[in-house]
Amino acid sequence: MRDVCIVGIGTTPYGRHEMAARELMTMAAEAAIEDAGVDPTQIKGAFFGNAFGVAEKQGHLGPLIMTALGIPETPATVMETACASAGTAIHHGYRDVAGGFSDVVLVGGVERVSMLDTLTATTYFSYGSDYTFEGGNGCSFPGLYATMARGYFDQYGATEEDLAHVAIKNHHNAVSNPIAHLRKEITLEDVMGSMKVADPLKLYDACPFSDGAAAAILATPEIAKKITDTPVYIEGSARSGSIASLHDRDDLTTIPGTIRAGQAAMQQAKVDIGDIDFWEVHDCFTIAEIVASEDLGIFNRGEGAKAAVEGLTAVGGKHPINPSGGLKAKGHPVGATGAGQIVEVVEQLRGEAGGRQVDGAMRGMTHNVGATGGTVVCHVLGRRN
């Protein structure tokens, strides 16, 4: 297997866009191509994440994007693993380069849902659950994570205030992120006073519906050394699954796929928790960041809830989590999120993250979850001097 580097990154701002998914993905891809400085004809394949393309009445996005990029002969594949779609696309792009099939590939993801009203968007998102048993029993996506949250409260005695501190921290980080969807500080009172969406989760526990796209160019180290002084190595890339429905799981307070994908990515990278300078984890809801931080091994069981309260996960804390603002405040364009996490880690490792920069960051890890963990993708990225 060959080493794989990230040689270029691109992203749109996250938020509401008038442009269609195909246009957003093309913009982010072109930004990554220009950042990498590759000749577009060097790109031998493309892998994109997208979950709700049919909401725009458009399937088969790949060739539309490649045509707009002026490389229509390059084969493109859209992958769907719900909110982990882009992480999955990056993993398969990685395998394409690592396996020797292509020397340069384009990876990324895109989502556009803001043209849907809240009721329609809530309904579409519930299709990502086990619809017969979960969505079909009236459970929304916030509802699934709320059910996990109540299980966590019951087991570990955590509180709604503990969750609120995750939201406050991620909003604070997003203020320094020029592409973030929600760039404003929030207070404990704001969170606790926000409307219940799915008890015990409130509006400020939840990520927004965002539009956006993000992309990266992957290449062999030989090509990377020719075109960039700051290649970032993909040191670990791993996926795992979990039992699809919450009711079939033994424990509501853990996502087994995160444990497996996290350990596999870290083993491949030959690193431990202490070797990782920061994480971008899948905080679609505040409880999700806490559960992830325990499943990834950053904190012991039941101790993740106090980490944000105590400042351990702040930029400048012992284990910074979601310096970008996370899904919570940077935003969550579903099929783009896994690629956006990669963009953040590369910016951090290049030292280009401005007011949210993790000092001296040499290695970062991403964690991208589809639905309630039916799919999990983890990447460990490192800079080498």
Partner 1 sequence: MATDPHTAKAPLITMKGQKDALRDGKIIGFRCKTDGYQQFSPMIRCPKCRQTDLETREFSTTGTVLSYTIQSVASEQFLNETPFAFAIIQLDDGPKVSGWIPWISKPAELPVGSKVTYTPTYKPGFMFEKV
Q: Which residues are catalytic?
A: 83, 332
Q: Which residues contact 375 (CB under 8 A, 6 or more apart)?
A: 81, 82, 84, 87, 88, 239, 241, 257, 369
Residue 154 in contact with residue 178, Cβ under 8 Å? no
Interface with partner 1, residue 147, by CB under 8 A: yes
Judged by CB, which is closer to partner 1: 114, or 245? Answer: 245
Interface with partner 1, residue 284, by CB under 8 A: no
Tell the smallest beta-carbon distance from residue 177 to partner 1 (Å). 27
Tell the smallest beta-carbon distance from residue 143 to partner 1 (Å). 4
Which of 20, 31, 38, 146: binder of partner 1 (CB under 8 A)?
146
367's enclosing H/E stretch is strand 363-370
Tell the smallest beta-carbon distance from residue 84 to partner 1 (Å). 20
Neighbours of 66 (CB within 10 A): 22
Q: Which residues contact 261 (CB under 8 A, 6 or more apart)?
A: 238, 239, 240, 367, 376, 377, 378
Interface with partner 1, residue 148, by CB under 8 A: yes
Residue 146 in contact with residue 252, Cβ under 8 Å? no
Tell the smallest beta-carbon distance from residue 197 to partner 1 (Å). 5
Judged by CB, which is closer to partner 1: 47, or 145? Answer: 145
Helix 160-175 × helix 286-295 angle, to 10°: 90
Residue 150 tokens read as: 């109540």
Judged by CB, which is closer to partner 1: 136, or 354? Answer: 136
Number of residues lying near partner 1 (CB under 8 A): 39
**Of the listed pieces 52-60, 83-91, 195-203, 265-273, which binds partner 1 according to CB under 8 A?**
195-203
Bridge partners of 280? 366
Tell the smallest beta-carbon distance from residue 259 to partner 1 (Å). 16
Alpha helices in 270-367 (DSSP H): 286-295, 326-329, 337-350
Judged by CB, which is closer to partner 1: 247, or 270? Answer: 247
Q: Which residues contact 200 (CB under 8 A, 6 or more apart)?
A: 146, 149, 150, 153, 160, 163
Which of 154, 185, 222, 352: binder of partner 1 (CB under 8 A)?
154
Residue 124 tokens read as: 């579409």
Bridge partners of 314? none
Which residues inside 346-375 make contact with partner 1, applying CB under 8 A? none
Judged by CB, which is closer to partner 1: 130, or 162? Answer: 130
CA distance 68 to 95: 25
Neighbours of 1 (CB within 10 A): 10
Largest CA distance in the chain: 56
Residue 108 in contact with residue 49, Cβ under 8 Å? yes
Judged by CB, which is closer to partner 1: 146, or 365? Answer: 146
Q: How many residues does the chain have?
A: 385
Judged by CB, which is closer to partner 1: 197, or 213? Answer: 197
Which of 111, 130, 289, 295: binder of partner 1 (CB under 8 A)?
130
Among the listed residues 273, 275, 293, 296, the one whose alpha carbon sits nearest the alpha carbon of residue 283: 293
Interface with partner 1, residue 376, by CB under 8 A: no
Which of 119, 189, 300, 360: binder of partner 1 (CB under 8 A)?
119
Which residues inside 197-256 make contact with partner 1, applying CB under 8 A? 197-201, 243-248, 252
Q: Which residue has the tokens 């979950």?
A: 51
Judged by CB, which is closer to partner 1: 29, or 139? Answer: 139
Which of 18, 57, 118, 359: binder of partner 1 (CB under 8 A)?
118
Interface with partner 1, residue 128, by CB under 8 A: no
Residue 87 tokens read as: 């992480």
Tell the smallest beta-carbon distance from residue 242 to partner 1 (Å). 11
Positions in the binding site for partner 1 (CB under 8 A): 118-120, 122-123, 126, 130, 132-140, 142-144, 146-148, 150-151, 154, 195-201, 243-248, 252
